[in-house]
Chains A and B, each alone.
Chain A
Amino acid sequence: MKYINSNSFGKFALITTCLALLASCAVEPEKSNPRKLPTDAEVEQYNASVEADERIVCRAERQVRSNIPRRVCRLVRDIEETSAFHREQLGRVLR
């Protein structure tokens, strides 16, 4: 039986832990990003043919508790509605 020293075991444990951590980050691409987000040029082409409130706005946003920017696309109409809703809620709380 071969003797396994504590140094080798430590390295092995470290590598295994790293691999396990990496594996835990892996997700199925289809589930995390079911649809490919449009590029800026595609967004611009679409926006050129629709009414102002039907336009899309795409930009990189940093989510709460993350420093990694993510591309988010929203309808201008939705942004407007959300803003109005938040303003209303804030007004109610501060009253």
Chain B
Amino acid sequence: MPDYRFQRILIFTVSSAALLVSMGSTGNKPTATVGSFMGINIHKHMPVLALAVSLLLCPAVLAQNTQTKVAETEAPNHFSQPQFEILMDEGRTLLENNLFTEAEKVFAEAVQNIKINYGLDSPFQLPAVNLLGKALIAQGSWAALDRQLAYFEWINDSNYNKDIEVYLRWTEVLSRLYLAAAADINNSANAHYLVTAKNLNWRAVSAIESTFGEQSLRLAPWLYNIVLIHYYQSSISNRRFLTSYTYKSESSEIVSGWALGKSESLQKSYGIGKELLQRIRVLYRNSNLANAESDAVNLIYRADWDVLFGKSRSALNLYNRAYVALLTTGLSTQELDGFFSRAKVLPEQSLEVDWYELNDSAQAANSTNPLSFTAWSPVFPATELPEKELPGLTSRRRNGSALFRFDLVPQHRNSTEVAGVNLQPDMKAENFQFLSSSPDWESLETQVQKEISQLHFRPRLQNGRVMTNTTIEMDYSFYLEEGPSLVNELR
């Protein structure tokens, strides 16, 4: 902003002098004049008086100018429209440099700027609140995060009637923010955030059903997200004897003393996952994408779900059905055995019902030797980092890794399989050989070994039968800051 301070002082001086001169000239009986200027009689005290008035006014003008300057530095100009874009860029840079407190301030300022320039419920705020949420997660400011995420949802709800696509896009972003908060080891309310993320997905499902119908294929990825969250939830439930109603609820206050036993909670998660996977299968069957391959792939997802909950007998039955169904579509035994003989850690991170796409991605994942696995968080042990990198965690260093070689041995637990579910893997990792680790800590070896033992692998099949032992080399990456230690050992 240009500085007009001196021009203004000059104008004030000249104008006040002119005023006094005019006052002097109005007298009918000019006495003690010292001369005339442009026909005006000037009183002898006039110049002194003019100077005094100017001197009196100058500090006031100066103070006014200085105050404007101070105000400009202390309070940002929210009325400048492109200002928020500059702030967003600045905030992103701060986030990348792990300066979270500073980033939080800048994003909060950007939100204020957007509110003033575009309105209180402007959807332009959503990207800023999203980044603000990331900064808060990284700092572990949970109370502030709750407020911002509730505000995010309130703004996004207004998109529901305007543009459902925008609503769904931002609901996914919000759900990922909640998941990131749930995965944070320093968060004592992991389950609360996890359940809220799940509820958001359910609300998206309800929105799609009412807009596009209950048979819409758009439901499938949202339903699969809920299935995945149930798996994450089961890994928390598995560590607790009782699950309180508060735990199952998204609200923080205690609503009632209702509680679920561990096995009941796991059964519920298993049942809901099974029901939703069946629904996804029916959605594809009734769609124009229906074909024998996609139906068989849906069976593989169902079988995977049974593997995750220790239902090995029914899982094997489903794999066999999928195998036979794929054979009847004209696929070769060689191709199928190729797919089923690859080591795959479950669950699949996303829903892919196209057989060729699924096969290609499995092939690509196994093309690297050793098999690479990135652990998500100690809160969810033996769970792979979700496909889309989650906010909050991106900023942290994931520079811990350990290279292991082990045998994968199928377990025969058919005789003990009853109605109940358990999260013990069907394929047991044995005969561990520690190859290397970074950093080279002794404790890492046993900790990573424990985590790998908890991984669920898809049974390796040949001609529809479970293959015998196989040796796998795995590069296990994790967040060094938190270590690979299991959460139930920490708490």
Contacts and interface: CB of A to CB of B under 8 A. Distances in A.
A39 B275 contact: yes
A52 B260 CA distance: 17
A59 interface: yes
A44 interface: yes
A44 B233 CA distance: 14
- Bin the interface of chain B by size: 20 to 34
A41 B273 CA distance: 8
A40 B248 CA distance: 13
B203 A49 contact: yes
A79 B255 CA distance: 10
A59 B202 contact: no
B206 A48 contact: yes
B258 A40 contact: no
Contact of B249 (A52, A79, A80, A83): A52
Interface stretch (B264-272, B299-307, B397-405, B429-437): B264-272
A26 B206 CA distance: 38
Given A76-B256, A79-B258, A48 B203 contact: yes
Contact of B198 (A48, A80, A83): A48
- Bin the interface of chain A by size: 10 to 19
A59 B206 contact: no
B324 to A, nearest CB: 28
A90 to B, nearest CB: 15
Given A45-B202, A49-B202, A49-B206, A80 B256 contact: yes
Q: Tell me whether chain B's interface is mostly helix, strand or loop, or mixed.
A: helix
Contact of B202 (A39, A48, A79): A48
A53 interface: yes
Contacts of B470: none
B385 interface: no
14 contacts: A39-B271, A41-B276, A44-B202, A45-B205, A48-B198, A49-B202, A52-B251, A52-B255, A59-B260, A76-B245, A76-B255, A76-B258, A79-B258, A83-B256
Smallest CB-CB A-B distances: 9 pairs: A48-B202, A48-B199, A41-B275, A41-B272, A45-B202, A52-B251, A40-B272, A52-B255, A40-B271
Given A41-B275, A44-B272, 9 more contacts: A39-B271, A49-B203, A52-B253, A53-B255, A59-B264, A76-B255, A79-B256, A83-B256, A83-B257
Interface of A: 39-41, 44-45, 47-49, 52-53, 55, 57, 59, 76, 79-80, 83
